[in-house]
Structure formats: C-alpha cells, structure tokens
Amino acid sequence: MSARRSSEYMKLDEENTQILLSQRLTYWRDSISKDSTGRNTDKISEDKFVENQLVNMNDSNYREILFDAICSRFQMMDLDGDGLISPDEHAAIFYGFNIPTEHSKKVFDIIDSDSDGFITQEEFVRALTEFDLTENPDNEYNECYGPLVDNEN
C-alpha cells in the first residue's frame, strides 16, 4: 500500500511503480519479516516485529546490518535514481505511509544539513543512524518518520 501511495504522489508510471514495490518487498523480506527460525513469513505480529528488532540490535554485527538497511531505505526514497532525495521524493514517502506531508518539510530541512535542497546518502545515513541509536529524547532526528506519538493522551 505504501509503495502504491508513494507512486501515486509522484505520478510514477506502472513500470516504476513495480520497481518501487519490488524494492519495498525485498526490504521487507530481507530485513523485517523473519520468524523465530529465520525464515521469511508474509505476516508478522507487532510483538514478533519488536522481538526481531531487539534480537537484531543485540547482534554483534548490528551496526553493519543497520548501515545496509539505511542505505536500502535511501535507495527506496530516491525514486528517480539520481543519488539524491528531493523534497517531493521525501514527501512521497510520508504520503505513502499516511503521515501528513506537511511534516515532511520540517524533517527534510533537518536532514538536509547543508541546506542545498537535497538529501545526500551521507546526510540520510547520519540522520537515520542517530534516529535508530540515540537514547536522547531531545535529539533533532527523533522525528525522522514524522511526529512522535504521545501514548499518554
């Protein structure tokens, strides 16, 4: 669904929509949808997803795994393949995940540390590494996927 929504936002043709969908499914299969035996599964519960994330984070190769996953996410966001994420490509991801696109501009500007109007892979990796590894509740990258949810309200 998120690939189709991102494709709709960017007005991609069917061929490019299929490429995007294939990238997302590969990322899901290779990074997220493992059961307790390490086999791929079509569905995964929230509890299993959290358990898998904890197992991955405690793996001695976690930083390498994380770097590879972040680079894959960058490639999925770089819809035109030019090695940069434009404001529209970034907004398309937010739209794809049903995050209001008005949040994209703020996040984009934070990640685009040199303010040149594009997010490079280096900027993206730095931001998402901080997002994934920080325990600082005030870290500037805490909203990389949109505003955090306050579960107490």
pLDDT digits (tens, 9 = 90+) for 88-133: 999 998 999 888 899 999 999 999 999 999 999 999 999 999 888 8
pLDDT over 70, % of the chain:
85
> Domain 1-32+51-133 carries which CATH code?
1.10.238.10
At residue 9 the predicted structure's pLDDT band, cuts being 50, 70 and 90, is confident
- DSSP of 76-120, one letter per residue? HH-TT-SSEE-HHHHHHHHHHTT--THHHHHHHHHH-TT-SSSEE
Domain ranges, ordered by start, for the chain: 1-32+51-133
Does the structure show a pLDDT above 80 at 33? no
Nearest alpha-carbon partner for 55 in 121, 2, 76, 44: 44
pLDDT computed for residue 38 by the predictor? 61
Residue 13 and residue 106 in contact, taking contact as beta carbons nearer than 8 Å = no
pLDDT confidence bin for 151, thresholds 50/70/90: very low
- pLDDT value at residue 69: 84
Higher pLDDT, 3 or 101: 101
Q: Is the pTM of this model over 0.85?
A: no
Predicted confidence band at 40 (pLDDT cuts at 50, 70, 90)? low
Tokens of 61: 């190769």
Identify the weakest region by mean pLDDT among 32-41, 100-109, 117-126, 141-150. 32-41
Quote the tokens at residue 123.
Answer: 């900027």
pLDDT of residue 34: 56
Average pLDDT score over the chain: 83
Residue 146 DSSP one-character state: B
